[in-house]
């Protein structure tokens, strides 16, 4: 039986630490970190994520602003808002909720955010810094996974780590963080041959596929650490991960549940990044 890694508890520990630091900063400098969240259109999932972010800001004591723009917002309007936020002194982090409506150029929007305020760490300059291991911010979801791994004192060094998925926001940075922690890393994707065998060689298996219950017990080595990044709906509309929890849990040593695993970590790491942005911008 696996130990279930409690993402709710670890995320709440991270947020509490941020909140304590915010109190101290307020006392010393009479200001607090500020985060602006921009949402365009009416995607219900995005709306939920933005509400969670706002709630987390309130919980840790940040100042926050929300810009809910209509679906028909033009590229120029969005770019001009970003420029305004880049120059606002009380805003230390700017986050544009993705995905954007189809008519908007997502990468141009990401590149328009000042790298020092790019608390999602999606800007090419921040991505490049992650590659060379000299980063200020890490993308929130992979950083959250590393925090979960650390919370259980799981050793990464020398371990075979397999990441399923190579997206820019999860798979690739995830692999890079495991590599920085001296893991021996393999990245799998939809064109990978022998996926089952490769996954079965993993001491640490991270699933970021976006397919409900994709990872079955015959893909997992006895005693492996299994991290499930997936957030999907099953055939009954119930939230589920990329891992078939029922099958995989009995053979793994540690496993993250969905919900309550990686999900809550993403927002907690966003709070941590915004605090870091505030400190950098204020030379603290
Ligand atoms: P994505 O951009 O759709 O990437 C999925 C990756 O899985 C791609 O690299 C794809 O390969 C690979 N893949 C698809 N089918 C495969 C197969 N049959 N065998 C092997 N690899 C396969 O998704 P994402 O944005 O990385 O997100 C992945 C999951 O994490 C989703 O469920 C998403 O909802 C969830 N997520 C959760 C959080 C959180 O806070 N917990 C945050 C972000 C994302 P190709 O590159 O070859 O197409």
- CATH code at 160? 3.40.50.720
Indicate whether residue 230 lines ligand 1 (CB < 6 A): yes
Q: Is the peptide bond before 259 cis (omega within 30 degrees of 0)?
A: yes
**What is the model's pLDDT at position 148?**
98
- For 62-220, list the strands marked E by DSSP: 63-69, 93-96, 160-164, 184-188, 204-207
Closest CA to 4 of 168, 227, 156, 186: 227
The C-alpha atoms of residue 17 and residue 156 are separated, in whole angstroms, by: 24
Catalytic entry in 53, 172, 213, 272:
53
Ligand 1 atom 39, closest CA: 263
Domain with 155, as residue range(s), is 140-263
Low-confidence stretches of the chain (pLDDT < 70) are: none
Burial of 61 (0-12, 13-18, 19+ CB in 10 A): middle
Indicate whether residue 170 lines ligand 1 (CB < 6 A): yes
**What is the model's pLDDT at position 1?**
85
Is 58 assigned a catalytic role?
A: no
**What is the model's pLDDT at position 199?**
98
Ligand 1 atom 17, closest CA: 190
The C-alpha atoms of residue 224 and residue 248 are separated, in whole angstroms, by: 10
Is the full-model pTM beyond 0.85?
A: yes
Assess whether 149 and 259 both reside in one domain. Answer: yes
**251-268 as b/e: b if 16+ CB within 10 A:** bbbbbbbbebbbbbbbbb
Indicate whether residue 171 lines ligand 1 (CB < 6 A): yes
Task: Using the mean position of ligand 1's atoms as its centre, give its distance from the Cα of residue 187 in Å.
Answer: 12
Domain of residue 102, CATH code = 3.40.50.10860
Assess whether 194 and 110 both reside in one domain. Answer: no
**What is the model's pLDDT at position 29?**
96
- Residue 133 falls in which region: left (phi positive, over 0), alpha (psi -120 to 50) or beta: left
């Amino acid at each position: 039986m696996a130990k279930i890694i409690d993402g709710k508890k670890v995320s709440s520990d991270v947020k509490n630490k941020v909140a304590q630091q915010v109190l101290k900063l307020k006392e010393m400098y009479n200001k607090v970190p500020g985060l602006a969240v921009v949402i365009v259109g009416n995607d219900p999932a995005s709306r939920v994520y933005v509400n969670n972010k706002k709630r987390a800001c309130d919980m840790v004591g940040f100042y926050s602003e929300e810009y809910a723009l209509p679906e028909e917002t033009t590229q120029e309007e969005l770019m001009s808002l970003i420029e305004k936020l880049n120059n606002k002194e009380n805003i230390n982090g700017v986050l544009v909720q993705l995905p954007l409506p189809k008519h908007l150029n997502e990468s141009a929007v990401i590149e328009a955010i000042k790298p020092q305020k790019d608390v999602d760490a999606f800007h090419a300059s921040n991505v490049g810094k992650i590659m060379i291991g000299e980063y200020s911010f890490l993308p929130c979801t992979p950083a959250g996974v590393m925090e979960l791994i650390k919370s259980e004192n799981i050793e990464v060094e020398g371990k075979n780590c397999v990441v399923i998925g190579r997206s820019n926001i999860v798979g690739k940075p995830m692999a890079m963080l495991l590599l920085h922690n001296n893991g021996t890393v393999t990245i799998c994707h939809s064109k990978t041959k022998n996926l089952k065998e490769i996954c079965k060689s993993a001491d640490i298996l991270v699933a970021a596929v976006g397919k409900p219950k994709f990872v079955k017990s015959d893909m997992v080595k006895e005693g492996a650490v299994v991290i499930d990044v997936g957030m999907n709906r099953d055939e009954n509309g119930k939230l589920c991960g990329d891992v078939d929890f029922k099958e995989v849990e009995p053979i793994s040593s540690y496993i993250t549940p969905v919900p309550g695993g990686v999900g809550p970590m993403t927002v907690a790491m966003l709070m941590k990044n915004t605090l870091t942005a505030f400190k950098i911008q204020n030379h603290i």
